[in-house]
Every structure is written in C-alpha cells, then in structure tokens.
Structure 1
Amino acid sequence: MPPLIPFEEITHLFAEFQHTAFRLETRRGYATDRAGARYRAFMRGIDPAPEPEHPWNVNVREKAAQGARFSRVRIVDEPPTDGQRFLMATAAGNIEAGEDIRVLPRAEAERLGLPDWDFWLFDSRTLVRMHIDATDTTIGVEVVNDPDEVLAACRARDAARAAATPSADVWARVRSSV
C-alpha cells in the first residue's frame, strides 16, 4: 500500500478546485456518521434537520456561485442499510446548497465495473483515493495524479452518473417503504 496522508491534508482541494468535485461512495455506512447525534436521532425515528450554515453547505453554495459543481453518486444496497438510509435522509440539505447527489444500486455498480472503493475526483485531474478500514473509518487518503488512474476514475464517474437516480427520488421510495 502506498503511504497514506491524513484526510485533513487534502481539505484545501474542496475550496481550490475550479470546475468539478465528484465523490463515489461505496460503503454501507461510515463510522463518522454513526458517531454523531444526528445519526442516533435518525435511528430513533427523528428526521435530520437541514444544516444550511454547516461549513460544507456554505462551501458548496460559494463554489456554485463561482460556477463550480459538487456531485456524488452513492452506491446503495437493496434494501439500503441504516447508514445508506441516513445519507439519503440528510442529502436534502446538501442538494439545497447546490450539490447533485445521485444513488445507484450496488448490483448496477457491479455490472458497470465501478470501483469498490471511495474516491474524490477534482477537476478531472486529481484523484483522492480514500482508504477506509473494516470499521468504516477513514484511515488516510492517497493523492493520485497518474493519468491512467485519473482517466479510469473519470470513466467511472461518467458511468455512475449516467446510470444513477437523483437521491430525492430514491429516498421518497425508500422512506415510504419503512
């Protein structure tokens, strides 16, 4: 495994990218979510309130005002796990801020040959591969500038976005079945 750097060392990329920041989410849940009060409340049946002033949403709005775009595709199981349902429930605030969030069934992601690991792709040039352990904790990231790997991530992004459904549409169906 290549040397990993702490996630905090790449956070500047979220403010510095010029055109696009894309995330592929492949996990069935994330430790940071499960550790939070919003997740625990969600598990008790309380819908997460939007957080328009959360630094993430503020940055998304600022970048959108500059003409840049945040997007992500979340790969979900059928039926979705609690962690995946939580992410869909909280997506509305991110979407309201200007982020495009879509959902793709895991079987379709596998059929498309998408990676089974999370990543961020900035301006179709910089790939940040997330390394996440068995407890769903990010243990570090790897910044990849190799043109072949970046191109593969661009192709994965394009395939995932084309096949995915807007998160709000999927959440409406999932929510009505719970």
Structure 2
Amino acid sequence: MQPPAREALAGALRSAVHLELRDSYMLDDPGYLAYQQGRRLDIADRASWWNGWHDAVAAAAARGVTVRRARVVSEPLHPYGLYEYDLTPGNLAAGEDVRWLSRRRAADLLLPAVDFWVFDDETVLLHHFTGGGRLADDGREYRTDAALAKTFSGAFEAVWERATPHAEYIPAT
C-alpha cells in the first residue's frame, strides 16, 4: 500500500488540503466504539489524544504549511460525524483549519467521488474506501498530475468557500 498522508505532509512546502465526503469510516474503530460508550475528548489532557498525525500537522504548520480540512456531511449527522466533530479540537490544536458543509448546501457543486488530499497544488492522494468505510487494500493512490491537482483543488476551494468554520458549526442531530 502507498504511504499515508502524513508522509506526504512531511514533504509539503506550502499547502495541504483534505476533502472528506463520507458520512462514516471504520465503524469498528476502537476510538469510535469508545465514543459510543460515552468517552469524549478531553482537550486539556493532550497526552490522551495527541498522536503521530498531530505531530505531522504541527511540524508542517511550524514550517509554514497551511493545512486545511473540509467535511461534506449529511444532516442530521451520522453518529460517526458527531465523533469526528468531538475529535476536531485536536486537529485545530495541531494546526489544521477545519470547516463543515452540509451536503444540501453542496448539492450544486461538482465534487470528486473519493476523499482526497492535494499537497502544494501538485500531488494528489486519492483515498479509496470499501462500502463499509475501511480503506481498501490498495486504498491510497498518489498522482502527480497538474491538471488533476488543479481540478481537485478547485473542488476543495468551492467547498471551503461555503463551509462553516468548526468554531461556528453546530451539528444538526
């Protein structure tokens, strides 16, 4: 399998944007199962949630890389969406900027069929998931294609312009 996004992020010089389009991922993830049992992120207890992803984002942000994530979601949110919402303060603390857009408000946007990253407007990382939300065995696909990067960056920017910053987003449940 191709390397994860954190490796590409480590090489980014200017920007990294990530568009999430699914309502749920890996419903058997231990963190999600614990969330369903009532466990919530304690942002004050950084040691309990900080991980390698947060290290990668913090290192990129320290180098001056702008890291942005946008989520297109169905409302009311799937319980997994609420779980992601609960975890987002960790992303923000690491240096990501995160926004949310309801699928209804994105209805007239032409968006790719897969989640993706674009690094420095040059490299695209496509994420291919199974129907159950698991990353497929060959689920990471890197492409260095200027035209594709431009198309995907445009899709991301269209979502970003309409999306609500995490601090202002109130999930519909």
Q: TM-score, normalised by structure 1?
A: 0.85
- 1:11 deviates by 4.3
Distance 2:167 2:30 in 1: 23
Is residue 2:93 matched to residue 1:96? yes
Q: How does 1:61-100 map to 2 (within 5 A)?
A: 61-100=58-97
Bigger shift: residues 126-135 or 36-45:
36-45
Is residue 2:160 matched to residue 1:167? no
Q: How does 1:1-178 map to 2 (within 5 A)?
A: 6-8=1-3, 11-31=6-26, 34-50=27-43, 51=46, 53-139=50-136, 140-170=139-169, 173-174=170-171
- 1:53 deviates by 3.3
**2:68 aligned counterpart, secondary structure:** strand
Distance 1:146 1:66 in 2: 24
Structure with the largest fraction of helix: 1
How many residue pairs end up in the alignment?
167
Kept in 2, the 8 Å contact 1:92–1:168? The answer is no
- Deviations along 1:61-88, one digit per CA (max 9) or x if unpaired, are 1211111121110111110101111111
Distance 1:157 1:123 in 2: 13
- Deviations along 1:16-67, one digit per CA (max 9) or x if unpaired, are 1111111100011111xx3333212211233123446311112211211111
Structure 1 vs Structure 2 CA RMSD = 1.8
- 1:110 deviates by 2.6
Kept in 1, the 8 Å contact 2:121–2:146? The answer is no
**2:71 aligned counterpart, secondary structure:** strand
Name the % identity.
Answer: 29
Stretches of structure 1 lacking an aligned partner (at least 5 in a row): 1-5
Equivalent residue number for residue 3 of structure 1: none
Q: TM-score, normalised by structure 2?
A: 0.87
Distance 1:98 1:12 in 2: 17
Bigger shift: residues 155-164 or 107-116:
107-116
Kept in 1, the 8 Å contact 2:123–2:143? The answer is yes
Distance 2:52 2:18 in 1: 18
Distance 1:54 1:48 in 2: 13
- Deviations along 1:71-112, one digit per CA (max 9) or x if unpaired, are 110111110101111111100011011100110111222312
Distance 1:127 1:82 in 2: 29
Distance 2:92 2:105 in 1: 23
**1:112 aligned counterpart, secondary structure:** coil
Structure 1 residues 59 and 10, CA gap change in structure 2 (3 angstroms)? closer
